[in-house]
Structure 1
Amino acid sequence: MEDPGSAQVRKAAFDWLKLQIARFGDTLSRTTLEQGFDFQGTRVRLVGPQGIFKPASIRYFPISITTTTKGPYQDSFDPDGNFLQYSYRGTDPEFHENRRLRDAMVNRIPLMYFFSTLPGKYLAVFPVFVVGDDRGRLRFTVAADDLLHLDYERDDADESLRRKYVTRQVRQRLHQRSFRDRVLRAYRETCSVCRLRHTRLLDAAHIVPDADEGGEPVVSNGLSLCKIHHAAFDGEYFGIRSNYRIVVKPEILEEKDGPMLRHGLQEINNRKIIVPRQFNQRPDPERLEQRFTSFAESADI
């Protein structure tokens, strides 16, 4: 059981984090998390130099755990994707930070989990609960839950199944968010078709769909597109040749409508998309050709 003062700080931290996500999206900067918020005249930070973090205003249990991971993140999940795996700090199970995290498991203390998707950027997942401790492998098992169950103090019949489901969703979000962040950074947060630079209106589109062979979540299989051009690309209103030139569907070029159709689609015909500065991050010509072949068949070109 957590002391009332610390529990009050923890609740305020969850409320503050919800507001930040509503304002900025679920990927937050490390600076934002390090600065934290003011609570009754005290600064409450959510992350620190070490992965297992407790702010001074909380007496004992950690408030967050942080993972800085490179690559596709498989090591952060069990083989079935039902649970997160979090390594001890060091190799001593009784090190004070490991012990506090273990005690958080026993006392069912809700935590925040921050995944690094890019240097200095973190996907926020909360609440999470420590549900297992493997001293032999020096790691904890962590399950995500939803906010509706944040205040539950005892087991409920559906808890295990619900947490597995929520954790699988977290895994999918993490992969999608990591792909988006890497693609948008490569394109300097600009739509490759229309040059729009409002980040919250941009998506990372797959050239070869992720369900198809060759649809890996790598930057060279991605395009930074605004939401309109993403929908138009997926809907095969236009295709992109291997030389980066845009081809708009003939029937769209012949259509008569308002300025959105004219400026948003018809005038991009034969224009070249912008590409990343780094050659190895540019769209893969073979993948573009594969996708364009599908478009050409659909457009009867």
Structure 2
Amino acid sequence: MDTSEHLRDEIIAAVLDRASRNGGFVTRDELTSMPLANGSQRVIDRTRGIWNPRDMDATLSVLSSPDGPYADREVAGGLFHYAYQDGPTNGVNAKLRKAYELQKPIILLRKVRDGVFVPIAPVYVVGDLIEKREFLLALDESVRFLAGDPSPLERRYVERVVKQRLHQAEFRGRVIAAYSTRCAVCRLRHGELLDAAHIIADRDEQGLPEVSNGLSLCKIHHAAFDGYLIGISPDYQVRVDRQLLEETDGPMLRYGLQGMHGIRLTLPEQRKDRPDADRLNQRYAEFLRRTS
């Protein structure tokens, strides 16, 4: 492995580690100067969506924004269409084409709010559609070998991978960023220990991957919420199952669960990100039914 390849792998690992510590996302400030073993490295362009470091022969990262000027989109088969940057076919696009030719891994940065991104890596460029001014990106290393015409079994595998690596990752990043990397119940701030819990499960037609259908919860409170050991009322009060309140056990039960009974959730600053009252009401009614 040459020096540039080693550096690329180190940068990808550093970005994913930082995202894990944050709860699934990275900020522009962090990407501007990502700490490495020997110094730091810029991982995002100041103004454009493609970052081409001078000391690398191929693109390092690409940025995709749902509200941006380009028609980036996910397509069937686990591939992602990434639009050329404005201007000539070459120009800033040339090094992304080089990533395709050399099959170098890159980082896809999905914008979830201003200055906040969910990194997906390693991602590979598997097609260059010059006539459409688009690149095709495989969102998983294994998926790039299935590009083209996957079998029904391969297609199901690809759909599962994309759901985990893109949809679930974005939902987690959006929710935990909205809650400023803390558990809404106990206020734990360790991103590695936080999950994005659905209020209404994603298999339900109302279980959309929206921040208002999510709660940032530590792993124990996520499990307790999913298991109906705790419920959350529409006015954001935590309620613990009556039988659980009457149990006697060690300090985890006493402080981690029983002690949460009656507290008020810690909510996102922005009202649009706060839990939807109708969904909470539906979920809380089920909690009461199961614990009555």
Question: Which range, TM-score by smaller chain?
Answer: 0.7 to 0.9
Matched, 1:127 2:119: no
TM (normalized to structure 2)?
A: 0.81
- Contact in 1 for aligned 2:122/2:139 (Cα 8 Å): yes
Give the Cα separation in 1 of the matches to 2:18 and 2:175: 22
CA RMSD after TM alignment:
3.3
1:75 positional shift: 4.2
Q: Aligned to 2:44, which of 42, 47, 55?
A: 47
TM (normalized to structure 1)?
A: 0.79
- One-letter amino acid matched to 1:87: A
Counterpart of 2:74 in structure 1 is 77
- Gapped regions of structure 2 (runs ≥ 5): none
1:236 positional shift: 0.6
Structure 1 residues 75 and 57: alpha-carbon distance in aligned structure 2, compared to 1, 3 A threshold: closer
- Gapped regions of structure 1 (runs ≥ 5): 150-154
1:37 positional shift: 6.0
Structure 1 runs of 4+ with >4 Å offset: 36-41, 158-168
Structure 1 residues 238 and 171: alpha-carbon distance in aligned structure 2, compared to 1, 3 A threshold: closer
Counterpart of 2:286 in structure 1 is 294
- Cα displacement string for residues 224-265 of structure 1 (whole angstroms, at most 9, x for unaligned residues): 222111110101102122222222212111211112111222
Higher relative contact order (CA 8 A, sep 6+): 2
Q: How many corresponding residue pairs?
A: 282
- Cα displacement string for residues 73-111 of structure 1 (whole angstroms, at most 9, x for unaligned residues): 994311x25201110011532x32223333432343333
Counterpart of 2:62 in structure 1 is 65
Q: Aligned to 2:191, which of 199, 219, 225?
A: 199
- Cα displacement string for residues 114-150 of structure 1 (whole angstroms, at most 9, x for unaligned residues): 222333333333333322222332211111343xx8x
- Contact in 2 for aligned 1:145/1:163 (Cα 8 Å): no
% same residue:
38
Structure having the higher Rg: 1
Counterpart of 1:152 in structure 2 is none
Matched, 1:89 2:80: no
Structure 1 residues 187 and 30: alpha-carbon distance in aligned structure 2, compared to 1, 3 A threshold: closer
Counterpart of 1:245 in structure 2 is 237
Matched, 1:27 2:25: yes
- Cα displacement string for residues 125-184 of structure 1 (whole angstroms, at most 9, x for unaligned residues): 3333322222332211111343xx8xxxxx97x676689956862453332233223323
